Amino acid sequence: MAQQAVAPVKKPEPLRETVVVLGDVVPISEGEAARPVTVIDVQPQRLLSSDVEDLMRTDASVDVQQRAAGGVMNDVSVRGASFEQTLVLLNGLRMDDVETSHFNLDLPVPMAALSGVDILHGEGSTLYGSDAIGGVVDFTTWQPQASSLRLRAGVGNFGEDQEGLLGALVGRHWSTVLAADRDHSTGFIVDRDFRTEDLSSETRFASPLGKSDLLFATDDRTFGANLFYGPYNSWERTKGWFAALTQQINEHDSADVSYRRHTDEFVLFRNNPAAYENNHIDQSYQGDVRDHRELVKNVSLATGIEVTTDQIDSTNLGNHGRNNGAGYAQLEWRVPGRGSIAAGLRETVFSGGRVVSSPMVQGTFELKHAVKLRGAVGYGFRLPTFLDLYYSDPTKRGNANLQPESAWNFEGGADWYPTGDLAVSVTGFTSVQHNTIDYTRPAGMTIYTATNLGSLQFSGVETSAQWRINSAQTLKLSWSYLYGTQSVLNGLQSLYVFNYAVNNGRAEWTWRLKQGVTLQSRLGVLERYTQAPLPSQAPYAVWDASASRQVGRWHPYLQMTNLTNTGYAEISGPPAVPMPGRSFVGGVEFALSRAH
């Protein structure tokens, strides 16, 4: 009797082969990268978390400061930089909001239509421009390999209900994805209800002109904003529209154009809208042309030119606009198996003639025993938002005389890959900042005013380890420590800059069982620096767990957050903005798929 042939089991790719696209001129493996970059694969975890913010928390260098669940009003910082010093991208295009950086994470694309999140630690202004002082977060959209349909529904406590839809069609030379989701809650306390809705359509096709990618997306978020900006029962509604076209020109060149519109309706007292209300409409345009080519063997050059225009029409801030143009170049030399060195420079010209230069040098050196040394020096900058410049309410005042922020960033570290299943990384870094923008006030006063602080310095260390225990289990550990110079305040009270995480530890364990069942557990322990008159915030722990099944047509899932029922606030105020206690969301996804 003849024996039946057994297909060989495919060995998982080594961890160092994870593709990195941020901080370099071309996609490279993690083992070659000169900068720490966290790469998060969204699709396998889309039923294990309610939003991408939960996925980003697994990186201890990332501090996500939420005011509410459901993707409502989230700030993100990297390496202790303020939320305004972190650049957010969507497919490499700017999402930072010119009204206020509180809206940078108002992503209009549903989580189900995202492919990944890449997080660059440290300066990124040389390649990406303004706001990239502490880091860069790039969300990438999902490209289907087969026609499919997914329908999702879930319910939870605090009156929460979720619905989602994703449809994908794949042809020989084209594909299109339509996605929508809705999340609603009556709130865990008074005036903390919310409703978020997202809708996106993305079409990719190949033609004689090259590959094209056309994306349209919109979102609508309505939420009670109790304590968000002060001791008020506020209410807010934001809407966003985003359109982008990416066009391949030839083997070396590509071009992008994008348009983003965002509106913000804010009511200070929800029970008395006539007392104080603001309406803001901001618009941003971006266009760029990029070129990358190999000059000689192992030597590559990336160049590009960019133009951006920002406008705002506001009942509180007035009508303003600004333009800037930039050109950049980065030259890189790689010696396979030995290391690399790269140098880059961006020249940015702003309205009024101001010019900012952003140089960068980075390199790696590979040693024996799978050890890689790396280091980088770079210069980042940020323009004030229109809210920083012109805002006025009963507790805050803008300052039209603000100067742009700038920072020199220095870092050095090592990566160790003893086996294909284990990766260990450690990095030390320092950020020397000038004209950092914060809202400050003298002790005893009630109004915060936007101010340029003098020179200040943040230094720290970040570590991470990723271990593929076996073919079914993965363990990720990370910890970061940060120290900041507070003497620059000279007795003033700060609202944002000194709300950083001193110690941040994260652990994530994932177990993929048979029959498509996945169990995941995440634990975070965080100690945050806070100023007088608030007491220093004691360390707190938050434990989340989830389970899902993603084979067949029916995909049940259960998401359990804050199982420790910890009372905590990621925005420490004053006043502090409390987060929900223990909560559960469960549901099911119905899926159909047909390979092309």
Q: What is the pLDDT of residues 179-193, one digit of tens each?
A: 999 999 999 999 999
Q: Residue 27's domain is classified under what CATH number?
A: 2.40.170.20
Q: What is the pLDDT of residues 241-266, one digit of tens each?
A: 999 999 999 989 999 999 999 999 99
Question: Do the domain assignments include residue 4?
Answer: no
Number of domains the chain is built from? 1
Question: Do the domain assignments include residue 185?
Answer: yes
Give Cβ neighbours of residue 7 (< 8 Å, ≥ 6 apart).
none
d(C-alpha 123, C-alpha 78), whole Å: 10
- Residue 414 binned pLDDT confidence (cut-offs 50, 70, 90): very high
CB 286 within 8 A of CB 95: no
Question: Do the domain assignments include residue 164?
Answer: yes
pTM of the predicted model as reported, rounded to 2 decimal places: 0.93
pLDDT computed for residue 445 by the predictor: 84
- Which of the pair, 352 or 469, is modelled with greater confidence? 469
Average pLDDT over the chain, rounded to an integer: 90
CB 23 within 8 A of CB 33: yes
- Residue 290 binned pLDDT confidence (cut-offs 50, 70, 90): very high
**Cis-peptide, bond into residue 574, ω within 30° of zero:** yes
Question: Do the domain assignments include residue 7?
Answer: no
- Looking at the chain, the whole-number percentage of residues with pLDDT higher than 70 is 93
pLDDT computed for residue 540 by the predictor: 92
pLDDT computed for residue 70 by the predictor: 79
d(C-alpha 136, C-alpha 125), whole Å: 9
d(C-alpha 489, C-alpha 476), whole Å: 37
d(C-alpha 400, C-alpha 327), whole Å: 28
pLDDT computed for residue 5 by the predictor: 39
> Domain containing 128: what range?
15-595
Section 228-238 average pLDDT: 91
Most confident segment among 6-10, 207-211, 302-306: 302-306
d(C-alpha 161, C-alpha 73), whole Å: 19
- Give the DSSP letter of residue 11: P
Question: Do the domain assignments include residue 469?
Answer: yes
pLDDT computed for residue 17 by the predictor: 63
Question: Do the domain assignments include residue 1?
Answer: no
Q: What is the pLDDT of residues 379-391, one digit of tens each?
A: 999 999 999 999 9
Section 11-15 average pLDDT: 63
Q: What is the pLDDT of residues 124-159, one digit of tens each?
A: 999 999 999 999 999 999 999 999 999 999 999 999
CB 270 within 8 A of CB 191: yes
